[in-house]
Structure 1
Amino acid sequence: MDDRLLDKIAEPFNLQLPEYATLEEMIESVLPAVAQFSEPNLLPEDSPLYTVNWVRMTDRPGATEVQLYTFQDYMRGEIRVVIDGKVDAQTYEVEESGERIIIGQSVMRDSFLYELAFLDEDFLLLRRHGNAANITERYLFFCREAIGTRLTWNEALERLVDKYRNSQFPLLAIGLVVAALIALMLYFR
């Protein structure tokens, strides 16, 4: 009987995400649940944008290369892009609001405007600005290097959800409920 009771209590924490066919589809589903835990903008100098080496995640079939992105300087500068050891560069500029960033070959040539969708010390999601119907690749999804080199895109997004799933439930309240249930079981024994 105790096992079934513990299974019932643990059930909300063992939620399984459905299978998603594309990166964009899964991001659209996951983002509303985790957006409240995001950094509000890219402005602080110690923002993870500038302090973390990011691995770009993709759902492109057959893509096995590791794409490492390092944002140099503060608010405007170079992005060092290393693809399986081959070093290249792009530029970026964070707008004054801190909520948008331009990424491309140069700020005014072959570049795109992205909006911050999510940022913490492990994950970075940028949403391309514009009409979604006209955009084929709507999101840039990055993970901290230690996560991005070990996991696939869907495993990384599951890790993002798992990271914040437990913060929605106050552990103290759950502990009190479990303690009360155990006390009741012992009392009526």
Structure 2
Amino acid sequence: MEERLLDKIAEPFNLQLPEYATLEEMIDGVLPAVAQFSEPNVLPEDSPLYTLNWVKMTDRPGATEVELYNFQDYGRGEIRVVTDGVVSAQAYEVEESGQRIIIGQSVMRDSFLYELAFLDEDFLILRRHGNAANMTHRYLFFCREAIGTRLTWNEALERLVDKYRNSQFPLIAVALVVAALIAVMLYFR
């Protein structure tokens, strides 16, 4: 009986993510749970966008190359892209709100507008602006270099969920203790 009670109490902390077929499906499933922990924008000069090297994650079958992205300058400039040692460049510009970013060959040529979906010191998710029904690739998903070079896209997204699931444990534990104390006080009243 005690084991069942402990299992029921621990159940919210041991949630298993369902299996997702694509990167985009998994991001759609994960974002609502972690969005509240995101940086609100990329405006601070010490934002992880500018201070870290990012590895682009993909679910493309057979993709083994490592694409490393480094956002040069603050707010507008060049993205240095290193694909298995081959260096190339793209341009980017952050809009005034800090929640939208243009990425492409140049800011006005072959470029796309993305919205910040999630950002912390380990993960960056950009959502392409527009009608999702008209797009084949809606997200750019990046991990900090130390994570992105070791994990696959689904392992990285699981790590993102685990990072914030575990950070809620003290809050939930305190709430359970408070609820138990209230129940005891009401019982003995």
State the alpha-carbon separation in 2 of the partners of residues 173 and 159 from structure 1. Answer: 22
- Deviation, 1:3, is 5.1
Q: Percent identity?
A: 88
Give ranges in structure 2 of 5+ residues lacking alignment.
181-189
- Residue aligning to 1:11: 11
Aligned partners of 2:33, 2:173: CA distance in 1, in Å?
A: 21
Q: Could you say which residue in structure 2 is the equivalent of 1:155?
A: 155
Segments of 4+ moved more than 6 angstroms: none
TM-score (structure 2 length as normaliser):
0.88
In the alignment, residue 126 of structure 1 is paired with which amino acid? L
Counterpart position of 1:119: 119
Q: Distance between the aligned counterparts of 2:25 and 2:176, measured in 1? A: 38
Aligned equivalents of 1:176, 1:19: Cα separation in 2: 30
How many pairs does the alignment contain? 181
TM-superposition CA deviations, 1:7-64 (whole Å, max 9, x none) = 4432221110000001000101110111111000010000000001000000000001
Partner in structure 2 of residue 137 of structure 1: 137
In the alignment, the residues of structure 1 paired with residue 136 and residue 171 of structure 2 have an alpha-carbon distance, to the nearest angstrom, of: 41
Aligned residue runs from structure 1 range 1-189, under 5 A? 4-171=4-171, 173-174=173-174, 177=177
Please report the TM-score for the alignment, with normalisation by the length of structure 1.
0.88
- How many Å apart are 1:164 and its aligned residue? 0.7
CA distance in 2, matches of 1:153, 1:36: 21
C-alpha distance in 2, partners of 1:75/1:21? Answer: 35
Amino acid across the alignment from 1:16 = Q
Opposite residue 141 of structure 1, the aligned amino acid is F
Shift, 1:171, TM fit: 4.7
Tell me the SS of whatever aligns to 2:56. Answer: strand
Q: Matches of 2:94 and 2:121 in 1, distance apart?
A: 18
The 2-side partners of 1:11 and 1:153 are apart by 26
- Whole-Å Cα distance in 2 between the matches of residues 29 and 115 of structure 1? 18
Query: Shift in Å at residue 6 of structure 1?
Result: 3.9
